[in-house]
Structure 1
Amino acid sequence: MKFLCSFRTFDRNNSHHRKSIAASLVQGVYTLECDRKQNRQGPQALAPAWWEFFNFGLTQVLVDDDDKSYFGAIYEFRFPYPYPNHIGQGPPRYVIAFRGTTNKSGNRTQDYKLNLQFIVNNLEKSPRFQAGMEAVRNTVHKANGPGNAWLAGHSTGSSIALLIGRNMVKMGMHLETYLFNSPFASPPIERIKNEKLKHGLRLANSVVTAGLAIAANGGHRPTPRENDPFIVLSTWIPYLFVNPSDPICSEYVGYFEHREKMEKMGVGKIGKISTQHSIGSIVSNARGKDSEPIHLLPSAYLTINLSPSEGFKEAHGIHQWWKPDLQFNYKLYQHK
């Protein structure tokens, strides 16, 4: 295990410090589950190193009631709080982290069931989301507000963190959130090398989606409302980490870039309508079920790993995000 930062030298303004710590605490959840399955306890347990190095303690493990697996954890900073450094510049008091899918015996059934719920835009009905939502609300209350807590997740765990973060915003609470390799429920158009073909497919998809949204609204363009989710969520800016070689999350690159291109082309209205909807959410709403697209994210600090990846496992892995010698591209997308 190789880390280049600890809370002894932690700089909250250093993006590498923040993402390394958030990713390591998510890895702690994966290792907790491995320890449980292999019955590693006490000195034999491997998980504690992932949080103790950063002076965190494990306060709660989130357990799936069906298969008894560990899918999340709540960590508390051990040093006296507020941190001795300048208040607001030190680490958070709490971090709530969620793991993704583990393709191992004993985990596949529940993990794949969660993936299916994501695909059909029904993740909010899952027991893991509901348990995670309750844990986050309780933790934020204990922390005396959202400013003392972070959310973090990887893969499907990132989708849970994204949904929880969105719900907290609707309650008036903005949590600092780290989303690693967050799944995007769409064909991976970003993987296409031909830029003209890629842009054409996205443009066609935007026109179709916007047309369906207008048709579902009685032939009228949806009018923004004060409580419109896209407007409410636009002030929340989570940190989103994607690898363009990972087909699960790569479409987020095109999601934000295409929105900018539509504005420059003078068809920004179509882009805005299509961004706020998905074909699945339109169909659900038409059937009387309130549904938002799982990828609904008006604003984000997008970090793209531009370094070559050897296969899917490396491109989708959590481990890439604490490596210091990779090439990254950073950009803020903020809906106004």
Structure 2
Amino acid sequence: MASERDVFEISGPLHLTAVDWTDVDHRRAVAACMVQGVYIMQRDRQENRQGADALAPPWWQFFSFGIQSLLIDDADSSIFGAIFRFNPKPDPSCSTLSTPSTPSHIIAFRGTVTKGDAFSRDLQLDLHFVKNVLHQSSRSETAIQAVRSVVASGSQNVWLTGHSLGAAIALLTGKTMAKNGVYVESHLFNPPYVSPPIENIKNKKVKHGIRIASSFVTAGLAVAVKAKKAHQQRSIALENSFSKLASWVPCLYVNPRDHICSEYIGYFQHRRKMEGIGAGGVERLAAQHSVVGLFMDAIGKESHEPLHLLPSANVTVNLSPASDLKEAHGVHQWWRCDQQLESRTYRS
């Protein structure tokens, strides 16, 4: 039996009878619903729900989108993403008429499914993320190629969105495009961040002290590694790459009770605090590196840039109470209209 959360008429944002594409809450809700649509397409596939029995279509049709193409993982044939195309209705009184703020395409990626034949592949990719080798997966390559194809077709106002593992894939794709001068609007829900759970420390002084120490250690290691002539060229390339990303401002949606993504809160808040105590230069250097990456450089092994290294972002924090991790990590919270949200934009 299908979960009520899969049924749009029960759990969807039915309050959005008139979508205002300039409203940040509406934009967030639509992006989250597209991700939910991908999740349910995979569940429809697993449970062989077809035609009138399929539960996924209302999640995008309600907003006048149609499927342009599905993104299929070649390892297990699961649906991990979709390219949605806006198809405005001819009725001039319709709430979803195209405006300059309306996305022409939304490319959405689901996260890990815990049931069915896709779980083992999703878990493998979760481990790829932890080991910082997600960029080597065929799923990431397919995602990047899909976005490049849509952008190359001349489509304007393309959005990227994803949840959890899907947010990591969207983040990797967005960073790849930004480094080539193409800035795609991105809505990333509960993006994973591999780090000790510093954000969960209740004592603010202890938490801030740990972050300051970490910044000075990371910056010191960066200076030491850059001093080695063999790594100077790579260090310069990394700095240039980081500066290119500064103009790209993805929207990150995080919950402080979700340890999978909560460290993004401290990552950006700490940068502002370091500038406040006159250590902005140290933090800017530390923000471009990870300790693991610097260690790999020091021993002569190439490392890939960690996904969480971002110079700029708009961070929205859900301050509403969550009963457990499942609720705090769920994508459903991001289309509800009864949440207490706080947003702040950080720019490098």
- Name the TM-score class by shorter chain: over 0.9
Q: Which residue of 2 aligns with 1:119?
A: 130
Q: Which residue of 1 aligns with 2:142?
A: 131
Q: Mapping of 1:1-336 within 5 angstroms?
A: 1-4=11-14, 6=16, 9-79=18-88, 87-89=99-101, 91-142=102-153, 144-145=154-155, 147-218=156-227, 228-286=240-298, 287-335=300-348
Change (3 A) 1:80 1:171: farther
Give unmatched runs, 5+ long, in structure 1: none
TM-score (norm 1): 0.92
| CA deviation profile, 1:250-302 (whole Å, cap 9, x unmatched) | 00000000001111111112111111111222234443425212101111111
Task: Assess if the C-alpha contact under 8 Å between 2:161 and 2:167 holds in 1.
Answer: yes
- Mean CA deviation greater in 250-259 or 223-232: 223-232
After TM superposition, give the deviation of residue 40 of structure 1 in Å: 0.4
Change (3 A) 1:120 1:43: same
After TM superposition, give the deviation of residue 85 of structure 1 in Å: 5.9
Counting matched residue pairs gives 330
| CA deviation profile, 1:193-225 (whole Å, cap 9, x unmatched) | 1101111111121122112211111279x8867
Paired residue secondary structure (2:289): coil
After TM superposition, give the deviation of residue 333 of structure 1 in Å: 0.6
After TM superposition, give the deviation of residue 4 of structure 1 in Å: 4.5
Task: Assess if the C-alpha contact under 8 Å between 2:199 and 2:207 holds in 1.
Answer: yes
Change (3 A) 1:225 1:41: closer
What percentage of residue pairs aligned between the two structures are identical? Answer: 46
TM-score (norm 2): 0.89
What is the rounded CA distance, in whole Å, between the counterparts of 1:104 and 1:140 in structure 2? 34
Letter in 1 for 2:271: R
Task: Assess if the C-alpha contact under 8 Å between 2:41 and 2:79 holds in 1.
Answer: yes
Task: Assess if the C-alpha contact under 8 Å between 1:29 and 1:98 holds in 2.
Answer: yes
Task: Assess if the C-alpha contact under 8 Å between 2:178 and 2:245 holds in 1.
Answer: yes
After TM superposition, give the deviation of residue 10 of structure 1 in Å: 2.2
Task: Assess if the C-alpha contact under 8 Å between 2:192 and 2:261 holds in 1.
Answer: yes
Paired residue secondary structure (1:24): helix
After TM superposition, give the deviation of residue 108 of structure 1 in Å: 2.3
Give unmatched runs, 5+ long, in structure 2: 1-10
Paired residue secondary structure (1:59): strand
Paired residue secondary structure (1:166): helix
Paired residue secondary structure (1:67): coil
Task: Assess if the C-alpha contact under 8 Å between 2:89 and 2:97 holds in 1.
Answer: no
Change (3 A) 1:86 1:136: closer
- Mean CA deviation greater in 226-235 or 112-121: 226-235
Paired residue secondary structure (1:228): helix
Change (3 A) 1:104 1:86: closer
Letter in 1 for 2:323: E
Task: Assess if the C-alpha contact under 8 Å between 1:233 and 1:298 holds in 2.
Answer: yes
Q: CA RMSD in A?
A: 2.2
Paired residue secondary structure (1:58): strand
